[in-house]
Structure 1
C-alpha cells in the first residue's frame, strides 16, 4: 500500500464513528482506511424511510456512474440469431436461448448482469425463482429487457449500477475503487444519491433519506451529512 498523506493520516486518527461528515471529508477517511493489499471497493448504504413490502414503497432503479465502478462485469444475454451475434460482438460472456436457460438451471451463475431481448422473456420467465432472488431478472424498467442489445451490454460493462431497496429499506451499492481519485468517488456518490432520490416512490411518507454511510470493503463505515449530498 502507498504511504498515507499527512491529510489521510489525520483522517484516520480523527475519525469519530458517531459523527456525520461532509462528503469530501468522508471520502478522505474511507480512502485512508482502505489498507488492504487489494483495491477495495468503495460502498454506500442508504437507509430509506420506506417499507418495500408495500408495492408503492419499492425503490428500484439504475444509474450510469460518471466514472464507472472499476469492476469487471460479466454479462449474460438471452437472444437468438442476429441479436445473439450482436451480444457477442458487444462483449457479452454468455449468450444463448434455451441452451443458456439450461446452463443456469444446472447452476452456471458466473455472471453479474442478465439482459434479454423482449421475445426471449417467455424463456427467461422460467428462471424467475433462480434469477429473481439474486437481483438478476431482466426488467424493461431497468433497460435489461431491450432490443438494443449492444447499448445494454456496453452500459452494463461501462459502469451501470442497479439498485433495489432491501426488506429493511436499505439500498447498498459499490460505487468505485479505493484507488479512484477523491473527485471521481465524490462524483459517483453524488450521482448515485441523485438517482435514488429520483426513484422516490409515491407511497413514501416523511423523511425519505434517513442515513447514509460510505466505507471500503474492509474499512469502517463513515456517516455522511445527508444534507451535503441531497
Structure 2
C-alpha cells in the first residue's frame, strides 16, 4: 500500500507529455527516488535500427566518468603472470581449467568475464553457459585482452556494456540516485555519446528516436532528444 501511495505521489510530479531538459529530468528522477534503498538511475533509448540485420547492430562498452555505484565482481581466465596481474587489479575469480569447471558446475557469482586470447579455446566451450547471460568475453568489448589488469580496473571503475535488444532498445544503469545531479548528468551524456558514436552503417532515418530516464521504482520521463544530442556534440 505504501509503495502504491509513493508511486502515485511521484507520478503526480511528472508530465507524461513533456520532453524534459536533461538537468530537469535528473532533478525529478532524484527527487522521486524515495525507496528504502539507493535506487539505480536507468536510461532507455529507442533506436531507429533493426538489430536482426548485421549492419544495424549496436553493441559496445562505455566508461562512465563517475562509475555506476555498483560493486562489479570480475572473473578472469588467465595463467601465470597474467593471473597474478588480474588478482592484483582486484579480480574476484581467476583461473583456467579450474575456473571453467566452477562455471560448468553452476558457480556464476560474477558480473563481467575477461580472458587472455590464448585461453579463448577453453572459454569457447562455455559459450552455452556464458553467452545467454551476456558474459562471453569479446575482443570488440575489450574483454579478450592481454592487458587484463586494465580490463579489470575498467570493469570495476564503471565501464558499462550496451547492446540493442531485438526491438532496437538499449537499456543501462547510469548511476545511483544518491549521486549528485552533476555526476548523473555527466554519466548520461557519456552513455548517450557512446550510443551516438556507435551508429551502425545500415541505420537509416532518425537514429536516436526516444530517450527516457527513471529510477528503479520511480516513473519514467521523456528527454528532449535534440537538446540532449546537441549537448554531447557541443
Q: Shorter-chain TM-score category?
A: over 0.9
Equivalent residues of 1:73, 1:112 under 8 A apart: yes
C-alpha RMSD of matched pairs (Å): 1.3
Per-residue CA distance 1:13-60 (angstroms, 9 max, x = gap): 541122211111111110011010110000100000111111111000
SS in 2 for 1:229: helix
TM-score (norm 2): 0.92
Please name the residue that 1:113 is paired with.
112
TM-score (norm 1): 0.93
Residue 162 (structure 2) pairs with residue 163 (structure 1): yes
Please name the residue that 2:20 is paired with.
21
Per-residue CA distance 1:129-154 (angstroms, 9 max, x = gap): 11111111111111100000110000
SS in 2 for 1:168: coil
Equivalent residues of 1:69, 1:159 under 8 A apart: yes
Residues matched between the structures, number: 221
Cα drift, residue 229 of structure 1: 1.3
Unaligned runs of 5+ residues in structure 2 are 1-8, 230-234
Moved over 3 A (4+): 10-14
Equivalent residues of 2:10, 2:218 under 8 A apart: no
Distance 2:13 2:52 in 1: 39
Please name the residue that 1:140 is paired with.
139
| Pairing 1:195-214 to 2, within 5 Å after superposition | 195-214=194-213
Please name the residue that 1:228 is paired with.
227
Please name the residue that 2:36 is paired with.
37
Distance 2:174 2:110 in 1: 19
Change (3 A) 1:62 1:116: same
Distance 1:28 1:200 in 2: 29
Equivalent residues of 1:11, 1:29 under 8 A apart: no
Distance 2:177 2:183 in 1: 10
Cα drift, residue 99 of structure 1: 1.1
| Pairing 1:4-19 to 2, within 5 Å after superposition | 13-19=12-18
Distance 1:229 1:102 in 2: 46
SS in 2 for 1:68: coil
Unaligned runs of 5+ residues in structure 1 are 1-9
